[in-house]
Chain A
Amino acid sequence: MSLPLHAGTENCVGPEKGEVTPAFEKQADELVSRYPVSKRSAVLPLLHLWQETFGYIGPRGVEWIARKLSLQEIQVLELVTFYPWFRQKPYGKFHFRVCRTLPCALGGAGKTFAALQKLMNLKEIGHGGTMVSEDGRFSLEYSECLASCGTAPVVLCNDAFHEKVDDNKAATLVAECK
């Protein structure tokens, strides 16, 4: 019943390319229809839809959504930059989020992160932030609490959720990212 191992990997890479298809429009319209009082409420749903379809939210996405909802672009950009789930640049095909908050930290999230970083051959860039591998296959970042503190440390790989990710499990996960 649960999601495949690395669900949602299809569109994480590459430029914000691809057509806005009639099917996409239809999905967007359905989301907008859920907010009969104010279509501005549909910004978050449309940002999710855009990111899931096109991999990330660049200027094209911001401007398309602004037009769709009769908003100013800045009103969309304000949200893209406020909510950490949204990204303005492409991530790796397999994007890992390692929970770093206290229960996971007590459970060894730091070691998990270091292991993943080594397995993905990622160099430390700057101060924290997201690291993307040179070949665009992997990206890795810390995330705040993922609400599964009892099975620490936990990791999201794209949309797939993994619990108790120790060094061994990290290695298995990375090996399965093809």
Chain B
Amino acid sequence: MNCCEKHPMNPWNHDVAKDEKDLVDVQVDGVWMQMPRGLNVVEVAHRAKKFIPHYCYHPKLSVVGNCRMCLFEMGTPKMGPDRKPILGADGKPEIAWMPRPQIGCATNITPGMGIRTDSALVKDCRNGVMEFLLINHPLDCPICDQAGECKLQEYSVEYGTGASRFVENKVKKPKNVDLGERIVLDDERCILCSRCIRFSSEVMKDDVLGFVNRGSHSTLTAYPGKSFDNAYSLNTADICPVGALTSKDFRFQMRVWFLKETKSLCASCGTGCNITIGSREGKVHRLTPRENESVNSQWMCDFGRLNFHDLESKNRLDRPLLKAAGQQFPATWTNAIQRAADTLKKVKPDEIAVVASGRLTNEELFVLKRLLGELGVTRVDTVMNPGQADNFLRSGDGNPNSRGAELLGLSSGGRKLGAWGGEIASGKIKALLVLGGEDLVAAGIPADSLAKLEVLIFSGILSNATSQLAQVVLPGAAFAEKTGSMVNVHGRLQRMTRAIPAPGEAREDWMILRDLRIALTGGNSLHSVEDVWKSMAGEVAQFSGLSWAKIGDLGIQLESAPKIREEVSA
């Protein structure tokens, strides 16, 4: 058992070595190598680029050793009469092999250990386990939603046989069990690995799942009348190695092998969970957590995971709109940008207020910052969108990039914004540029007040009470439709990557801002995210020395911000 420091998010971290420098000699398939002491054999094999198949073992859950798929042949150094290892001709210990196979997940390496991952015995063990798992399992992959990412299917190619020797009746179990709001269970597909039970119990501290009955009739279930619907339930569909637990939202929507995978960020709160966007032909089909030990480990909340259906909302803004005679009409981008610039030019800089947004990327905010500097506009702030903090992954900040807006000096945390309602009413503010789709009516500025503004320009992805009052509506891009970076509530700079194009004529917001800037001030020179980075790194102290490429897939902890682990454990 790996006794790493207990993280509140993950009580177990079997894939993390206690000390990467404390190495011991082990022999893996005949080759001697050095591996960190205390790692288990599955992880050691993985590092040695050997693969030990497994079902129940999960690096973030307790080890139960029930699937028996990771059986391997183990040896220990032969000892001489002096209790010292007998060395062979190569100067390495001679190994005495044990007749009984051992499980890799529960065996931690010790000096001189021999590991065989592909001997005849090991192969027979795997063949045996595969056969056992399949005798009572439905053999109907073509109609199973897990097909394509099913470990049973995957391993049976390697370790299974073409034909079944099982001629008896299969054990019947419940199918299509409605476990909760978001999860469906097929007990006949369940291989009883208990990953979902352990996740619920160990990570969520919510013992809602369990096994009933015994032996081959053992059945996964929730207590009758109780539903499995905690805020993280869909993670069990991810870690379920077979098609037993599936997401109601995703099942039967798309074959997984058709999905394009894009590494990106969840934008549903300030945590910035790392995700993979699964999309096909311009449509997002699912979000799944992407491992990042500094942020979300391998998990994400159900809310964030399912918060992508707005991309196809019927309220989606997909082309620029201009208002004439009290009505909004579709317009071209050229006209819309020109109209926005023309109307803004008619008011003085100190009569302009800008709602930047904690939903915009750093790059978008930086272009905005440039523009405001050139115009001399200083009245800028962001809207605070409270989130539902849960002491796990969900943050109390509903904006994904409040910290970025703060770092770029475009946010006072909503303090300034509080006065704007009065200033609009008194005529001090004559023009309002609303970015990030913020709804100021919801934020407390009355609609009739907004209606009095000489200029109201709105950019966002969904229509709302504010957009409906705007003279110019500039349709923007949602998180899955744009590339940029954000800083999460713990000060980690991370990258968001475009998976699909924005719908219709909608554009990435940094392009909208760039065009507006060209129209307003003629300022240019920012043509790409990389360009923005070059300038931004020079101007924003926290970003100095960084570049788009340096951020990498897992992000960078900014010096000035506390690390998430310290913050969580404090």
Contacts and interface: CB of A to CB of B under 8 A. Distances in A.
Partners in one complex: yes
Interface of A: 59, 62, 71-75, 77-78, 81-82, 84
Contacts of A77: 210, 212, 223
Contacts of B207: 71-72, 74-75
Given A75-B210, A77-B212, A81-B214, 7 more contacts: A59-B224, A72-B208, A72-B210, A72-B223, A74-B210, A78-B212, A81-B213
B226 A73 contact: yes
Interface of B: 207-214, 221-224, 226
A78 B218 CA distance: 10
Instruction: Give the dominant DSSP class at A's interface.
Output: helix
Nearest to B215: A82
> Which one of B209, B212, B221, B226 has the greatest number of beta carbons of chain A within 10 Å?
B212
Can you list the 6 inter-chain pairs with the closest CB atoms, starting with the nearest? A74-B210, A81-B212, A73-B223, A74-B223, A72-B207, A78-B210
Contacts of B209: 74
A75 B211 CA distance: 9
Contacts of B224: 59
Contacts of A62: 223
A152 to B, nearest CB: 25
A73 B226 CA distance: 9
B541 to A, nearest CB: 51
B53 to A, nearest CB: 28
A36 to B, nearest CB: 22
16 contacts: A72-B207, A72-B208, A72-B210, A73-B223, A73-B226, A74-B207, A74-B208, A75-B207, A77-B210, A77-B223, A78-B211, A78-B212, A81-B212, A82-B212, A82-B213, A84-B214
Contacts of A82: 212-214
B213 A74 contact: no
Nearest to A63: B223
Contacts of B211: 78
A81 B213 CA distance: 5
B419 to A, nearest CB: 51
B535 to A, nearest CB: 56
Contacts of A78: 210-212
> Which one of A59, A62, A73, A84 has the greatest number of beta carbons of chain B within 10 Å?
A73
Contacts of A71: 207
A62 B212 CA distance: 13
A73 B222 CA distance: 9
Contacts of A75: 207, 210
